[in-house]
Amino acid sequence: MAPRRSWVEQIMGLPVSVLARGEAADSEQAEVAVRDVFAELSGVDRVFSPYRTDSAVSRLARGEVGWDQVDPLVREVAERCAAARELTGGLFDAQVPGGGWDPSGLVKGWAVERAGERLREVADVDWCLNAGGDVLVVCPSGEPFTVGIQDPRDPGRVIAGVPRTGGAVATSGTAARGAHLYDPRTGGPAGTRWLSVSVTGPSLEYADVLATAAFVAGDDWPAVLLPGYEGLGVLADGNLSATACWGRA
C-alpha cells in the first residue's frame, strides 16, 4: 500500500482536511503545498466571511466601503456569482433576502479549487482535499479515492460512497447547518422533500453551485445539472435517487 499522510485545520468555521497518497506523501514539498493550501483558504476566509466583522463582505453590508474600494478579487467573485445566477436560472443567487450579498455558496468551492492548484504541483502524489464535505480529488496514479456522502439524517453515518480519480464532489442540504437555504424565486426557505443533493463533476466551483441550485429546485433537481455533472439525492425516508452516470470515477 502506498504511503499516506493527512493534515487537518479548522478554517472557515469547518474542518479542512488533506489526504496525500504516494511515495512523496511524506516529502517536504508535500508539506509546503499543504501549508500553502491552508494559508490561502485562511486568507479567503478573512476577505469573504460574513461572520467576520472586518471582512470585505461585512464592510460592504455595513456600507463602509463601495464596490470600487474592495479588492479586485471580491469583484471577481461577484461576477462569478452573477454568472452562476444566470447559469442556474436564478436558483443560485448571492443576493439574499433583505438586500444583502453573501457569496458563501460559491466562495468555498471556488477557493478550494484555487488552493488545490498548489497540490497539483507535487509530482506523483494523489490528493483528497475536503472542506466540510466539498471535496477536490487529484489522482495522477489513476487509483480512485472513495468519497463518502454523509447521511443527512445522521451526520455520523455515510449513506453512499462515490469513487473519484479527479474532479469534485459537493453536497448541499440540511446535515451541517439545518434548513438554512432559501429559494431566490420566493425569498423564503427552500421547500423540498429532499434532505440533500450531492453533485460530482470536473469543477468544484460549479459542483458547489449546482448542488445548491439542485437542492432549491426540489423534484426537478436533475434538470439543473450541466453536462459532465452527475447527482445523488437523498429523500427524508432515506431513499436515494441518482442520475444515470453517478458513481463513474
Tell me the C-alpha distance between 241 and 81, whole Å: 28
Tell me the C-alpha distance between 86 and 103, whole Å: 15
Query: If you average pLDDT over every residue of the chain, what do you get?
Result: 92
In this structure, CATH architecture of domain 4-242: Roll (3.10)
Per-residue pLDDT reduced to its tens digit, 4-53 = 999 999 998 899 999 999 999 999 999 999 999 999 999 999 999 999 99
Q: Which residues contact 41 (CB under 8 A, 6 or more apart)?
A: 11, 12, 16, 111, 112, 115, 131
Whole-angstrom Cα Rg for the chain:
18
* pLDDT tens-place values along the chain, 249 residues long: 889 999 999 998 899 999 999 999 999 999 999 999 999 999 999 999 999 999 999 999 999 999 999 999 999 999 999 999 999 999 999 988 777 899 999 999 999 999 999 999 999 999 999 999 999 999 999 999 999 999 999 988 999 999 999 999 999 986 555 455 767 776 677 778 899 999 999 999 999 999 999 999 999 999 999 999 999 999 989 899 999 999 886
Q: Give me the residue label for grid cell 439524517.
A: 153
Where do the structural domains in the chain lie, given as residue ranges?
A: 4-242
Tell me the C-alpha distance between 39 and 131, whole Å: 14
